[in-house]
Structure 1
C-alpha cells in the first residue's frame, strides 16, 4: 500500500512539473511578442538613416529614394510594423541591410564564439567563486577570509574593459604567449583555437567569481549556523563531508540564481569584451549593427537576449526543486 502511495505521489509531482514547464513555455510567446514590439519601435525611431549609412554621404536623392522603396522604408510606420510582425510570427527575422544575408543565419554563426567564451568564462568564474566563498566561510574572521573578501571585491569593482586591456598588454604584448585579438574556429585551427578565447574568458570570469564568492560566503555562513550542521559535527563527521555534502548543497539556491543571471548576460552577448578582443560573436555583431543602423540585426539581437533570459530563468527555477525537495511547482 505504501509503495502504491509513493508511486502515486511521484507521478503527481512529475505531472505538476510538466504542467509548470508547459505553462512557462506558453508564457514565452506573449513576452517575446512584447519585446519584439518594443524592439521594432525603438530601432525605427532611433536617430540615423540606415539608407544613408548603406549608400554613403555621396549618394544622390534618387538613389536614396530608390533604396527606401526597395527596403519598404517609404511606407508608414504602422504598415511596416504589421508587415514585420507577420514575418516574426512566421519565424522570419528578415535580412541584414549591410551583410545581405538572413539575420537568423548570421545570428546562429555568431552564437558559436559567444557561447564558447561564455561557457568557458562561466566555468572558470563559478569554480573560482564557489571555492573562494567556501574558503571565506570556513575561515570566517581569519586572514584567509579577509583575503577572499578583498579578492572578491577586486573582481566586482574592476571594469571589464580595463582588465581586458591589462591582460592583453601583459600576456599578448609583453610575454607574447597569446594573440592580441581575433578568433579562429575549432574547424579552422583545432585545439589552437582555444588560445583566442583564454583572455576573453578570464576577463569575464573575474567579475563572475567576485559575485559568486560573496554570495557563496554569505549563504554558507548562514547554513553553517544551522542545528543540523552542529549535529553532524557532534557525530564526528569529517569537515569536508559537512561542508561539501551538507552545507554547500543547502546554500546553493541564491548562488544558482546569481549563476543563471550572469550566464544569461554572457550568452546575451559579451559586448565590451568581444569588441576589445575583436571576437565575431553576438555582442560584436550588435555593436556593429548599431553603428551601421542595421535595423533587422538590432531587432534580432534584442529578441535573442530576451529569449536567453527567459529560458535560463526557467532552468534556474527548475533547479530549485533538485536542490531543495520541499519546493513544489504550481
Structure 2
C-alpha cells in the first residue's frame, strides 16, 4: 500500500506539469490585454509599455514560461495584476469559504442521498421508491443558479431568515458566519443528494439480489441488520466514486453559486480574474483544481481497499 501511495504521489508531478503548460499558454493566448484592463483604455502606449516591462510581459513567451515554472516549483504563483497581492496568499484566503461551503454541502448531500437511496432500494417499486426517484431527477435536472435564486427569494427576501448575499469570516464573527453559507450549501447539496441517491439505489438493488443476502434473510436476520451491516458496505464502492468526484468539484470552486451569493471563495475569485484578465490568478486556479482532483482520486482509490478487503494495491 505504501509503495502504491508513493507511486501515485510521484505521478502527480507529470500531471501537474502538463496542466501547468496548458494553463500558461491558454491564459496567455486569451484575447484582451491585461495591462489595458489595469490602466484603462485611456492609457498611452508609453504607460502600457512601462507597465509591461515592470511585469515582465515584454519578454518572449517561452522565457516567461520557464521563469514562471521555476517560480511555481518554489511555491511562488506571482502577483495578482488587479489585487496587488501574492496569488498564493489570495488563494489561501479564498479557500476558506469554499471549503466550508463544500463540506456543508457534502455532509448534507451524503446524508440525504444515501438515506433516500436505501429507502428506495428497500421499498423497491413502492411509494418511497417513486419519491426517491423524483427527488433524484429534480436534483440532477434543476439548474443550480435557478435553485439558488429561488432559495434566496423565499428564505432571504420573503422570510428574512438568512442574509441575501455576502460573507463574514468565521474568525471574526464565529458561528454567525454559517448564516451566509447555509443557502449556498443547500443549493449544492440538492444536486449532490440526487446523484448519490440514484447511485445508492442502483448499487443497493444489485446487492440485495445477491445469494448471501438471501441466506441472511433465511437465517431470520432483521431487515435493519441485513441492509446496514451486510448490504450497505458492499454497495458503497460506486457511491464513494460519485462522492469523491462531487467533493472535488465543490472544492475546485463552486463558481456559479459563489457568484450569485457573492461569497468570496475560489470560484468567485476565478470568475473575477477571468473578467479582469488577471492571468496569474487564473493560472493558479487551474493548477489548484487539478491538484484537488488528483489528491481526491487517490483517497477514493484507497477507500476501495478499506471497503473491500479483496482489493490490494501494490
Shared fold (TM-score, shorter chain, > 0.5): yes
1:205 pairs, out of 185, 189, 195, with: 189
What is the alpha-carbon distance in structure 1 between the residues aligned to residue 179 and residue 94 of structure 2?
A: 18
CA RMSD of aligned residues (A): 0.6
What is the alpha-carbon distance in structure 1 between the residues aligned to residue 70 and residue 41 of structure 2?
A: 33
Deviations 1:162-218 (A, max 9, x none): 000000000000001100000011111111111100000000000000000000000
Q: Provide the residue aligned with 1:291 in structure 2.
A: 275
Alignment of 1:313-324 (within 5 A): 313-324=297-308
Once the two structures are TM-superposed, the CA of residue 22 in structure 1 deviates from its matched residue by 0.3
Q: Provide the residue aligned with 2:208 in structure 1.
A: 224
Once the two structures are TM-superposed, the CA of residue 127 in structure 1 deviates from its matched residue by 0.5
Deviations 1:204-261 (A, max 9, x none): 0000000000000000000000011011111111111110111000000000000000
What is the alpha-carbon distance in structure 1 between the residues aligned to residue 287 and residue 223 of structure 2?
A: 47
Once the two structures are TM-superposed, the CA of residue 299 in structure 1 deviates from its matched residue by 0.2
What is the alpha-carbon distance in structure 2 between the residues aligned to residue 191 and residue 92 of structure 1?
A: 33
For 1:96, what is the secondary structure of its paired residue? coil
For 1:106, what is the secondary structure of its paired residue? helix
2:59 pairs, out of 49, 72, 75, with: 75
Q: Provide the residue aligned with 1:42 in structure 2.
A: 26
For 1:178, what is the secondary structure of its paired residue? coil
Q: Provide the residue aligned with 2:125 in structure 1.
A: 141
Greater shift in the superposed pair: 90-99 or 106-115: 90-99
What is the alpha-carbon distance in structure 1 between the residues aligned to residue 79 and residue 224 of structure 2?
A: 56
1:96 pairs, out of 70, 74, 80, with: 80
Q: Runs in 1 of length 4+ with deviation above 2 angstroms?
A: none
Once the two structures are TM-superposed, the CA of residue 51 in structure 1 deviates from its matched residue by 0.1
Q: Provide the residue aligned with 1:175 in structure 2.
A: 159
1:23 to 2:7 alignment: yes
Unaligned stretches of 5+ residues in structure 1: 1-16
For 2:220, what is the secondary structure of its paired residue? coil
Unaligned stretches of 5+ residues in structure 2: none
For 2:18, what is the secondary structure of its paired residue? helix
Deviations 1:261-288 (A, max 9, x none): 0000000000000000000000000000
Once the two structures are TM-superposed, the CA of residue 40 in structure 1 deviates from its matched residue by 0.1
What is the alpha-carbon distance in structure 1 between the residues aligned to residue 126 and residue 111 of structure 2?
A: 22
1:191 to 2:175 alignment: yes
TM-score (norm 1): 0.94
What is the alpha-carbon distance in structure 1 between the residues aligned to residue 117 and residue 307 of structure 2?
A: 18
Deviations 1:94-115 (A, max 9, x none): 1111111111111000000000
Once the two structures are TM-superposed, the CA of residue 121 in structure 1 deviates from its matched residue by 0.2
Q: Provide the residue aligned with 1:260 in structure 2.
A: 244
Q: Provide the residue aligned with 1:117 in structure 2.
A: 101
For 1:288, what is the secondary structure of its paired residue? helix
TM-score (norm 2): 0.99
Q: Provide the residue aligned with 1:10 in structure 2.
A: none
Q: Provide the residue aligned with 2:199 in structure 1.
A: 215
Corresponding pairs, count: 314
